Structures are given as C-alpha cells and as structure tokens.
Amino acid sequence: MAPCASCFLLAVMFSASCKAITSSDQMCTEKEANKTYNCENLGLTEVPDTLPNTTEFLEFGFNLLPTIENTTFTRLVDLIFLDLTRCQINWVHEDAFQYQHQLDTIVLTGNPLIFMAETAFNGPKLLKHLFLIQTGISNLQFIPVYNLEKLESLHLGSNHISSIKFPENFPTQNLKVLDFQNNAIYYLSTEDMNALEKATNLSLNFNGNDIRGIEPGAFHSKSFQSLNFGGTLNLSVILKGLQNSTTQSLWLGTFDDIEDQDLTSAMFEGLCEMSVESINLQKHHFSDISSTTFRCFTQLQELDLTATHLKGLPSGIEGMNALKKLVLNVNNFDQLCQINAASFPSLIDLSIKGNVRTLDLGAGCLEKLEDLQKLDLSHNDIAASECCNLQLKNLAHLQYLNLSYNEPLGLQSQAFKECPRLEHLDLAFTHLHVKAPQSPFQNLHLLQVLNLSHCLLDTSNQHLLAGLVDLRHLNLQGNHFPDGSISKTNLLQPLSSLEVLILSSCDLLSIDKQAFQSLGKMSHVDLSYNSLTGNSIDAFSHLQGLYLNLAANSIHTVPPHLIPTLSQQSTINLSHNPLECTCSNIYFITWYKENLEKFEGLEETVCANPPSLRGVKLYDVKLSCGITALGIFFLIVFLLLIAILLIFSVKFLLRWKYQHI
Amino acid sequence: MEGVTAVLLLAWTLISPSSSGKAWPTHTVCRGGNLEVFYQSCDPLQDFGFSVDQCSKHLKSNLNIKLGFILREDIKELFLDIALFTKGSSILNFSYPICEEDLPKFSFCGRRKGEHIYYAGPINNPGLEILEGEYQVLLELYNENRATVACANATVICS
C-alpha cells in the first residue's frame, strides 16, 4: 500500500513539474489575477487567447508584431498600460488602439518604425505617457499629432533628432516631461523653444547631446522644473544661453567616458543672469577653484559637487548664505575642516560619503553649521578612538546622522551629547568599541531609528541601549549574543517603545521565555537566519498582531501548547526550516493548513523529515495519524487472544478448584 | 499502474526540450601577448559582444573596451559583481556600482529597457599584473531589482 501511495505522489509531482515547464514555454505569467500579465520573450505573433479580456497591465516586449492594426488588441478593452518594447514593429496602422479607451501608457521603445498613421493613437481618452525611444525617428513630424492633448510625458531618447522644433499643431499644453537623451541636437533656437511655450513646469532632458550653441534669448523669461544638459562639453555656452530663465533644478554633470574641459570661474558668469535653485556639477574638474569661483552661486539652495576631484573648498566664499544642501560625495578630502563649512551658515543637509581617501573628522569642523539637520558621513574609512562629541561639536539641531561603513569607532557614555535632537542614527557595518558598563546613546531621548547591524557589539553590556526611551526601530542584525541566547535580563529591556526589532543572522540558539517581557509595543520581529527551535516562540506569548519572521532557523516541530501564541500573530514566516512532517508534529501541520493566510513564504515552507516527504510543501502534506486498518486488525487479534487466554485460564481455574474440593 | 505512469512521465520530462538548454557560443576577447581571454554569455535570453583594446599580461590602467548588447531592464541603477576563481577555489569577490541615482558614472546610465547599447570607452580599471595560470571569472551586471542585465563566464589563460 505504502509503495503504491508514493508512486502516485511521484506521478503527481512529475505531472505538476511538466505542467510548469510547458506553461512557461507558451504562456504569459500572471502577476495579478485577471489584471496584470507578463508575456515577454515568448516569440508571440498575436495576443494569446489565454489572456483574459479584463487585462489592464500588459508587458508584451520582445515578441514579434511587425504590424499593429485595429484588430491586434481588439479584445483587450480594459488596457491601461501596454509595453510593446522591441517587438520588431514596422507599422502602426490607423486606429490601432481604437477600443482601448482607458489606455494611458504606450511603450514602443526599440522598434524599427517605418510609419505611424495619422490616427494611430486615436481611441484612448487619456493617453498620458508615450515612449518612442530608439525608434529611428529623425524628424518630429513623424509623431502623429491627433489625440495627444492629454500627453504628460514624451520620451524620444536615442533617436536621430537634430532639431527639437515641434510642428505647430503639436499639443504641448499638458507636457511635463520631454526627454531628448542621446540624440544629435547641437543647437537650440528661439523658434525651437517658443514651440514649447504652452507647457508649464516642464522637465527637459538633453543629456548626451553635445549642445554647441543656444540662440541668445532662446530661454528668455521661460521657466522649467528641470533642465538636464549632462555630458555637454562646453558649460559656458549653456549658462550664457539660459539667460533670464528660471529653473528649479539644473543638471550639468559629466561622465567618466566623456572628455571635458576644466571649469573656470569665467564659465559661471552666466549664472548671475538666471535663477536656479539646484545645480549638479558631478565629475567635472575645477582648474582654479577660489572664493570667486562661486561669485554667481548666491541664489543657490542646493549644490552637488559629487566626484569633482576636490581636495578642499576655498575659505571665505561669500554670498553662499542661502545654500541649504551641499553634496561633496566621492572627493579627495583629508580632513573634514578642509571643506571650510563656515561659508555655508544656512546649511540643513550635508553629504560627504565615499571619500576617496581616509577622512579625518578633526575637531569642531562643522561647528558653524548650527542649523544642520542631516549629515551623511558614510563609506569614508573614518576611524576614531573617541567619538563623537568633539567631532560633532555644536550640531544641536542634527536629526539624521549616518556613520555607516566606516572603520572602528570608540564610543564612551553619552557619545552623542552634542546632538541631543537625533532621531535617526545609522552605524551599520562600523565596528563599535564600547566598554561595559558605558551607555553611548544615553541622552538621545528623541532617537527613533537606530541601525547597529554588523557593529560587532558587546551585547553582554546591559547598559548599552540605556536612555533610548523613544526608540521605535532597532536593527541588531549580525551581532552575537553570549552563548547564542537572549536571556531573561538583556540589553533590550530599556526599550519600552520598540516596535520593530531585527535580530537576523545573530547565531541565536535560544530565547528565554521572558526575554521580551518589557517590550509590549512590538509589531515586527525579524529572527531569520538563526538556529532557533520551536520553543523560542514562547517569548512572544504576551504579544499580538505581530509580523514574525522565523525563516531559515532550526525549527523541527512546533509544540501544541505554542500554537495559541502563533495564532494571535498576524503574519508568520517559517520558510527554510527543517520541518518535521510526521505524526509528532500533526497538531501544528493541521493548524498550519487551516491558517495559510497567516503565513508568508508558503512555497519555501517544506518538509525536511521523513526522507520520503523531503521538499514537499507543508500545505500539500496529508498525514493520517489515527489507527490504521492494519493496526485495528492487530488490535482485534490481540484482544481475541487475550479473551481466549482468559477463557482458558478461567476454565483451568474452575477445574483445579473442583478437583480440590 | 501508477508506477508505469510515473516512469512514462519521467521519460517525457527527460526527452522534452528544455527552454534553457541552448548555450551561447564562446567568443574570444583577445589572444596574444601570452594572454588568452574567452567569454560566454550566461544570460539565457541573449548573447552580447565584448572586446578590449589591449591584450597583455601587464594589464594597463584605464582600459578601453567595446561592448554591445540589448537592455532587457532599465538601468537607472546598475551594479557589477565579479567572482574570480582558479583551480576551483575562489580568490576574489567584489561588487562595484556603475550607475547610481546620485552618481551616474557613465553616459549610458539611465537608459531604458529595449534600447540597444553600444559603449566604446574607458572603464577606469587599475593597472594589474596577471600571474601565470588559468582563471575563471564570473561577471554579472544587474539593476536595483536584482534583475540580470548581462552575465558572462570568462576564462583567462596566462602563460
């Protein structure tokens, strides 16, 4: 009987896997039932019959549709998003999308278009996004103008466009994004720009075009959300050309693969004649950086000088009083004081991450930045035996501090006394030396998020997290606990406001029943990638509605008395555990199958034992742990034998008795 | 009866063609100067073209490469993983960001799914002296969703 059953199981498994293989060969993947489908890379020449009429989002890229006609998508009247990337489309005929009234996005990227009919886009009532990237367009007349009144974004990158002049009847009034990346635009004339006059808050992207000339006055009294001239060789042409314009964000960075001229102070003259809030100059070289280089940056609120080969910023820059955000990532500073922070008294946000050299924080280098709220000093090889009060002197308004991915830091008690308003502190992957019983975070009463993952903490120090009365989110991933266990008294006890606790990859073997007793507000606990057993679940008996991640642990069985604890939680992940699928675990398995909606990672929640069921999904397991027919047979035989024995012994007893009367 | 069905099904799965069965051809990056470099695409969906301007065991810094392929994903963010093996044991593993939202290093960063990319230019590598031996290199390009953009199995033979 048993071998037959396993044969059957094998057959079912094989037929299931065959089905999966054949379906992936021809069928689309369902991402959301009746709504979202992915049919990419299937070599399809038409919409498959298996797609429901109710499909709204369809990814149909990398198939074969040389011609699109009004019959191609007839059936799919509910389409909202249609991706036809690289389908070798040559022709888009009349009324190709006439039945798709809801359609708001059409992606035609990478198709060798020969012709699009004048009425190609007729039908959709709210066509908002059109992607015509790398479709071989050389003339904007190619794009049919009918029914584009609602268009918000038009993507025309990687074509052969040399002039951005739209035909007169082209509707531009709702355009917000116009993308001309990687074309052959060399010159922008007043006439070109006037064709875009009706658009408001426009973002224009000329990244990867080598613009060599702008007609004087072309941008006169025009305003833009953003302008991108990335990779342009001559910045002074751009800045002169933008005279009298208003722009929120101006991207003038360059790239590793583009040879550029050194920036001189004279190149920025044009900035004095325009209004900009934010400028990016990434990867440029400054030839003669001095305090006068920034003469025309007075109105600026954000300046990004990422990877501009800076060894320092000149002292005494005047007029940068308005600057709110400064990005100095990936530069060559030796010491933090070399940025001469005193020039930017209004700074709220400062980022210096990924410095090419080891950065020395010095003492009080940022003390003039009294309004600073956000400071990123990650990936800088910063090392300090005593941190951080001297280094962060006078940063009383700091709310966010990132010191992750640095070299070892020594922290004493009240190590962040200078920034009492900190709400978010990230120290991930920075080794911390804290001598017990010091409490480095003592005065941080407002701290809500603390990331201490992979900090090699001494977790036996009960006072390590003292003082964090408002902490909501704590990440202790990759730290180790004495003997691999969290005992009844532990460093988490002061954290009464804690909601999210991450203890994954901590090599934990056990958790005491009362370890989390003082943490009554927790809603999310991640204990994945440890070696915990089923008994650890007892530590959550006082909590309800928890997201509990126990994936990749050593749970074999869940004892019946712990099932109520699990049932009061909202989501549980037990995937990648060596689960026992024998009658010793029958109570749990039965309960699991009745509560599948509570579980996450169902496909990876499989049996490890007995060997015959290894790899079988727990929800597929059928166990019968009552008495089997064979058992009943033996029981009856056994009872019968007992009865016979009884009768014989009574008979024998009686005979013996009568013989001795 | 079920046993027979199981055997038949097993045979069918073994015989029926699998979609990922076809391997891409091995291409030569360069041969000469005591160095031979071959690669094979390990992306089941497509092959790609690659060449280097110089082939010598004294690898100079800032090499120029040529690279051509079709993007199957957007590359607003793009990362490179390199794993180096010799004689079956791992020598080096590292991960390097090529395109990031706040630092697009190359002009092709931000291009879209479906675009054909041709890049001819420098790659900013450090100079390197290759020791004699045979090396296996696994290179993988992927985006912020960990979706594969390109994948290569390369063999470097230095004599």
What residue ranges define each of the domains in chain A, with the CATH number in brackets? 28-184 (3.80.10.10)
State the CATH class of domain B21-158: mainly beta
Task: Round to whole Å and give the CA distance between A488 and A513.
Answer: 7
- In this complex, do A158 and B115 lie within 8 Å of one another by their Cβ atoms? yes
Mutual orientation of helices A2-26 and B2-15 as an angle, nearest 10°?
A: 30
Residue of chain B whose alpha carbon sits nearest to that of A205: B110
- In this complex, do A133 and B3 lie within 8 Å of one another by their Cβ atoms? no
Contacts of A10 in chain B (CB under 8 A): 6
Distance from CA of B132 to the nearest CA of A (A): 31
- In this complex, do B10 and A61 lie within 8 Å of one another by their Cβ atoms? no
B145 and A CB contact within 8 Å? no
Task: Give the start-to-end residue ranges of the domains of chain B.
Answer: 21-158
* Side-chain-facing half-sphere of A132: CA atoms under 13 Å: 26
Residue pair B40/B136 in contact (Cβ under 8 Å)? The answer is: no
Please give the pLDDT value at position A288.
83
Please give the pLDDT value at position A625.
79
Token readout for A584 is 């010793």
Q: Classify burial at B51, counting beta carbons within 10 Å of its beta carbon; exposed 0-12, middle 13-18, buried 19 or more.
A: middle
CA distances to A149, B82, B136, B138 from B132, rounded to whole Å, are 65, 20, 13, 19
- In this complex, do B102 and A329 lie within 8 Å of one another by their Cβ atoms? yes
Token readout for A150 is 């609602």
A 629-648 near B (Cβ less than 8 A): none
pTM comes to 0.87
Please give the pLDDT value at position A469.
92
Chain segment B72-118, per-residue pLDDT in tens:
999 999 999 999 999 989 999 999 999 999 999 999 999 999 999 99
ipTM value: 0.85
Distance from CA of A581 to the nearest CA of B (A): 24
Chain centroid offset of residue A175 CA? 29
- In this complex, do A110 and B12 lie within 8 Å of one another by their Cβ atoms? no
Give the residue among B132, B157, B152 at the shortest CA–CA distance from B39.
B152
B24 and A CB contact within 8 Å? no
Please give the pLDDT value at position A599.
95
Average pLDDT across chain B, whole number: 86
B 77-106 near A (Cβ less than 8 A): 102-106
B5 and A CB contact within 8 Å? yes
> What is the SS3 string spanning A333-345?
CCEHHHHCHHHCC
Q: Which residues contact B149 (CB under 8 A, 6 or more apart)?
A: B71, B72, B73, B75, B78, B141, B142, B143
Q: Classify burial at A182, counting beta carbons within 10 Å of its beta carbon; exposed 0-12, middle 13-18, buried 19 or more.
A: buried
- pLDDT under 50 in chain A at which residues? 1-25
CB nearest A14 (choices: B10, B70, B106): B10
Distance from CA of B140 to the nearest CA of A (A): 20
Give the residue among A44, A151, A67, A147 at the shortest CA–CA distance from A113.
A67
Q: In this structure, which amino acid lies at residue A191?
A: E
- In this complex, do A231 and B105 lie within 8 Å of one another by their Cβ atoms? no
Residue of chain B whose alpha carbon sits nearest to that of A85: B114
* Tokens 């009919």, located at residue: A117
Please give the pLDDT value at position A630.
67
Q: Which residues contact B95 (CB under 8 A, 6 or more apart)?
A: B79, B80, B81, B82
CA distances to A108, A329, B143 from B101, rounded to whole Å, are 25, 13, 11
Q: Is the pLDDT of residue B21 over 60?
A: no
Please give the pLDDT value at position B148.
94
Residue pair A364/A342 in contact (Cβ under 8 Å)? The answer is: no
Query: B155 - beta bridge partners?
Result: B38, B136
Token readout for A452 is 């201490």
Chain segment B25-65, per-residue pLDDT in tens:
999 998 887 889 999 999 999 999 999 988 888 888 889 99
Residue pair B7/B32 in contact (Cβ under 8 Å)? The answer is: no
B9 and A CB contact within 8 Å? yes
Residue of chain A whose alpha carbon sits nearest to that of B122: A257
